[in-house]
Amino acid sequence: MTEIAWNRMSAERLRALATADAIVLLPVGSTEQHGPHLPTGVDDFLCSEVCRRVAAQLAPDCPVVVAPTLWCGLADHHVAFGGTFSLSLATYYAVLKDLCRSILNAGFRRIVIVIVNGHGGNIQALATFTGELTRELNAPIATVTYFMEGREGMRGLLEDQDGVMHACEAETSMMMAVHPALVDAGRLGEAHGPKFDIMGSLVPELKMFRSFAELTPSGVAGDARKASAEKGRQLLDACTAALAARLRAGEPWAPARQGIRQ
């Protein structure tokens, strides 16, 4: 089986992949509360898993490397529950810029770095960062949130929601599929709360910061009681297929690739 994990390869192998114009996937997530039934590393674990699956699909035809996951992001809205790490916006940008710079310095300059996000709180910042990172690093940087890319495929698989909320039917199902030992089934009865419209949260209208504790006493948005491992496998397949198809198409990278400084 082709190795795709950056930290499992030698520097020599990575130099060869850079020469072969490999795409680099940089998973970014968060470490934060996920209700009474899930571990704090959900966004890290699931984003890493999706990137691994996408790379495995692409690797036979397209060189690809999955960088180590950035496990901390923007999560101030979860701090009230405890168990949460969060960066300031300036620190988050600086860390991402230096990680991307490291990838470029390792020789991956000819095609693209794809920052694959797995945390809702990072979405708006990453949309803004994309242009700045591209300009400052003179390299094609793309950002995508895996569960937004796979939203259409996920919609038909969920009973009670049309995409990821928080510690919900979707995230709980995917954790049951890949890390079942980390799901506390005995607490599922408590794992429900008001629905959260992630698309609505991104609409540019008047907004104020609100702690998640003001929205849901359980720390859950959605209903994890409807989760299952089989549903989780199908959700992961849907997200993987959607993101792999986007990357396999290749067209978005071609113009940028031609303009990269060698």
| Arithmetic mean of pLDDT, 141-163 | 94
User: For residues 227 and 88, what is the distance between their CA atoms, to the nearest angstrom?
Assistant: 33
Size of the chain, expressed as the number of residues it contains? 262
User: For residues 27 and 129, what is the distance between their CA atoms, to the nearest angstrom?
Assistant: 15
Going by pLDDT thresholds of 50, 70 and 90, the confidence category of residue 111 is confident
User: For residues 206 and 179, what is the distance between their CA atoms, to the nearest angstrom?
Assistant: 38
- 222: region left, alpha or beta (phi > 0 left; psi from -120 to 50 alpha): left
Going by pLDDT thresholds of 50, 70 and 90, the confidence category of residue 105 is very high
Q: What is the pLDDT of residue 142?
A: 94
Instruction: Out of 61-65, 83-87, 203-207, 253-257, give the one with best mean pLDDT.
Output: 83-87
Domains and CATH numbers, the chain: 6-249 (3.40.50.10310)
Residue 250 has pLDDT above 70, yes or no: no
Q: What is the pLDDT of residue 208?
A: 67
Q: What is the pLDDT of residue 96?
A: 98
Q: What is the pLDDT of residue 189?
A: 97
Q: What mean pLDDT, rounded, does the chain reach?
A: 91
**Percentage of the chain surpassing pLDDT 70?**
90
Residue 62: Cβ within 10 Å count? 17
Residue 118 has pLDDT above 90, yes or no: yes
Q: What is the pLDDT of residue 256?
A: 43
Lowest mean pLDDT among 83-97, 131-145, 216-230, 237-251: 237-251
CA distances from 54 to 30, 205, 232, 238 (A): 20, 34, 16, 11
Going by pLDDT thresholds of 50, 70 and 90, the confidence category of residue 255 is very low
Going by pLDDT thresholds of 50, 70 and 90, the confidence category of residue 82 is very high
| Arithmetic mean of pLDDT, 115-136 | 95
Residues 42-69: tens digit of each pLDDT: 999 999 999 999 999 998 888 999 999 9
**Residue 152, amino acid:** E
Q: What is the pLDDT of residue 15?
A: 96
Residue 14 has pLDDT above 70, yes or no: yes
Going by pLDDT thresholds of 50, 70 and 90, the confidence category of residue 259 is very low
| pTM recorded for the entire structure | 0.91
